[in-house]
Amino acid sequence: MGQRSGADAYDVVVVGGSFAGLQAALTLGRACRRVLVLDDGAPRNATAVAVNNFLGQRRPRPADLLGTAREALAEYAVDLVSARALALEPSGRRWRAHCSDGSVHVARRLLLATGLAEELPPIPGLAALWGTLAVACPHCHGWEVRGEPVAQVGFRGSLDRSAQRAILVSRWSARTTLFTQGDAVDGARREQLHRAGVLVDDRPVERLERGEAGVDIVTADGARLPQRSVFIATRQRQQSALARSVGCSFSGDGPEYGAVMTDEAGRTDVAGVWAAGTMANPALLAVAAAGHAATVAVALHADLLAEDLASAPSASSPAQTSV
């Protein structure tokens, strides 16, 4: 794809083509907008066995669901480019996106939908199980293991989050164990865990291994404790530094861990730059990331329309005068 410039610019360049970015492209494409989606193929749930809790879908693989979403864009003026956006720069009232394949694209607006990346704690064996037997969210993956023995494995600095999460997980399985990894749970939290029926195991976890029941937790004293799956209260950080590089403001823990701040419509505080999906609303399920992006895209279309009208010839201009 070559460079588009001037009047030939896209209406919107969407950076990030996963649940949020593709839904925004669909909504904008259906509003007769010319859209480019840049994506480098790393959705946050790439290793997940399925996308659960998504209306109308029965456990599709993430790649399959996103592939169908991409195919469905073919009838609109939406271009898809597999490349990483490396830099974004303002150019008058427009923006230029410089990409890893050397291409440069010009747009009236940027919509960032670059998502979050998971930070896995250094528990040996975890990375190989991530998305299949080790997951974060019981709303996404609790139903499949309901009633089975499951564990919430804590790690340094996460204990209170992990304890809260174990209490949540206990709604799916009364056979939930919290592994504290030796960190002390305070009295009030321990009482809540007790009331929720969560067992507390203070032995350090040496490693996680694929096992007959699903995953075995091997503790430092050599015990092997079979679980159907393990839950980890991971932290997420922004997957891309682009929002920071163009000067967007962040809430919470700042550019790396916080959310990009927007108004209700999805407009950041940088002119012409919008944001949608989990980068702006971190707690969202995939379907909610898509829903958020659709809402933002509707507002973005209205913003473009206002600009279209402002720059259109007025009724009194000579070109419009009829005989």
> Least distance from C-beta 253 to ligand FAD, angstroms?
18
Q: Can you tell me the distance from the alpha carbon of 23 to that of 25, in angstroms, rounded to the nearest whole number?
A: 5
Among all chains, which residue has been given the structure tokens 């909610």? 288
| Whether 219 contacts 204, CB under 8 Å | yes
CA angle 282/286/290 to nearest 5° reads 95
Q: Does 272 bind ligand FAD (CB under 6 A)?
A: no
Of 48 and 169, the one with the shorter C-beta distance to ligand FAD is: 48
Q: Does 229 bind ligand FAD (CB under 6 A)?
A: no
| Whether 44 contacts 116, CB under 8 Å | yes
Considering only residues 240-259, where is the footprint of ligand FAD by CB under 6 A?
Answer: 240, 242
Q: Can you tell me the distance from the alpha carbon of 146 to that of 274, in angstroms, rounded to the nearest whole number?
A: 39
Which residue in 14, 31, 51, 275 binds ligand FAD (CB under 6 A)? 51
> Least distance from C-beta 252 to ligand FAD, angstroms?
16
Q: Can you tell me the distance from the alpha carbon of 195 to that of 188, in angstroms, rounded to the nearest whole number?
A: 11
> Least distance from C-beta 70 to ligand FAD, angstroms?
11
Give Cα separations from 309 to 13, 306, 313 (angstroms).
Answer: 21, 5, 8
Q: Does 166 bind ligand FAD (CB under 6 A)?
A: no
Q: Can you tell me the distance from the alpha carbon of 189 to that of 185, in angstroms, rounded to the nearest whole number?
A: 6
Q: Give the bridge partners for 112, in sequence order.
A: 15, 275
Which residue in 18, 27, 181, 268 binds ligand FAD (CB under 6 A)? 18
CA dihedral 283, 288, 289, 291 (to 10 degrees): -150
Which residue in 26, 38, 78, 123 binds ligand FAD (CB under 6 A)? 38
Q: Does 149 bind ligand FAD (CB under 6 A)?
A: no
Q: Can you tell me the distance from the alpha carbon of 198 to that of 174, in angstroms, rounded to the nearest whole number?
A: 7
Nearest-CB residue for ligand FAD: 115
| Whether 69 contacts 22, CB under 8 Å | yes
> Least distance from C-beta 135 to ligand FAD, angstroms?
5
| Neighbouring C-beta atoms of residue 217, cutoff 10 Å | 24
Q: Does 232 bind ligand FAD (CB under 6 A)?
A: no
Which residue in 63, 120, 261, 287 binds ligand FAD (CB under 6 A)? 287
Which residue in 34, 44, 105, 228 binds ligand FAD (CB under 6 A)? 44
> Least distance from C-beta 218 to ligand FAD, angstroms?
22
Question: Which distant-in-sequence residues (6+ apart) come within 8 Å of 289 by Cβ?
Answer: 18, 19, 20, 23, 115, 276, 277, 278, 281
Which residue in 13, 28, 34, 45 binds ligand FAD (CB under 6 A)? 45
Of 85, 118, 90, 109, which is closest to residue 17 (Cα–Cα)? 85
Give Cα separations from 138 to 90, 112, 184, 197 (angstroms).
Answer: 41, 27, 24, 17
Which residue in 286, 296, 297, 300 binds ligand FAD (CB under 6 A)? 286
- Of 37-45, 121-129, 211-219, 264-272, which segment contacts ligand FAD by CB under 6 A? 37-45
- Of 13-21, 151-159, 193-201, 311-319, which segment contacts ligand FAD by CB under 6 A? 13-21
Q: Does 113 bind ligand FAD (CB under 6 A)?
A: yes
Q: Can you tell me the distance from the alpha carbon of 244 to that of 250, in angstroms, rounded to the nearest whole number?
A: 8
Q: Does 219 bind ligand FAD (CB under 6 A)?
A: no
Of 220 and 241, the one with the shorter C-beta distance to ligand FAD is: 241
Binding site for ligand FAD (CB under 6 A): 15-21, 38-45, 48, 50-54, 84-85, 113-116, 118, 131, 135-136, 140-141, 239-240, 242, 277-278, 284-287, 289
